[in-house]
């Protein structure tokens, strides 16, 4: 049973930065995908970026490209999201997700992830 815990959310003014982290425990697979998603108050969910434990190409959602950076420490099972030049429309609850995956292609399709964290709130004020 994989457990994910997100930390580091909070409130920031537009143009500021935040770094959120996800700590995973109970990982038994050496090859897996971890991803960041966010859910707005409207309940709409958006996939932001995903990374494979073996590394490889990372695709970002257009809405966060060049502002957000996903990184991982696969030796520790941690995932981070550095968020720069934040905008009020980035306000959401941010979730990390995990799925064992032999291949190195990781998607930001929520239906492909079984394990989820509890989420951390990020609020950006104008």
Please answer whether residues 26 and 121 qualify as being in contact, where contact means their C-beta atoms are separated by less than 8 angstroms.
no
pLDDT reported for residue 56: 82
pLDDT reported for residue 113: 96
pLDDT reported for residue 18: 98
Please answer whether residues 33 and 98 qualify as being in contact, where contact means their C-beta atoms are separated by less than 8 angstroms.
yes
Low-confidence ranges of the chain (pLDDT < 70): none
pLDDT reported for residue 59: 84
pLDDT reported for residue 96: 97
Pairing of strands 120-125, 10-13: parallel
pLDDT reported for residue 87: 98
pLDDT reported for residue 74: 85
pLDDT reported for residue 102: 86
d(CA 23, CA 83): 17
> What Cα–Cα distance (Å) separates residue 113 from each residue in 10, 11, 27, 87?
25, 28, 14, 27
pLDDT reported for residue 17: 98
């Amino acid at each position: 049973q994989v457990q994910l815990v997100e930390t580091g959310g909070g409130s920031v003014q537009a143009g500021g930065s935040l770094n959120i982290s996800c700590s995973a425990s109970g990982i038994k697979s050496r090859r897996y995908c971890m991803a960041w998603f966010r859910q707005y108050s409207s309940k709409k969910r958006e996939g932001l970026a995903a990374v494979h434990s073996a590394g490889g190409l990372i695709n970002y959602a257009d809405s966060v490209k060049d502002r957000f950076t996903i990184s991982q420490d696969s030796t520790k099972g941690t995932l981070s999201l550095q968020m720069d030049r934040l905008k009020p429309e980035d306000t959401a609850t941010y979730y990390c997700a995990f799925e064992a995956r032999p291949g190195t292609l990781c998607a930001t399709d929520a239906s492909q992830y079984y394990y989820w964290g509890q989420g951390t709130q990020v609020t950006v004020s104008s």
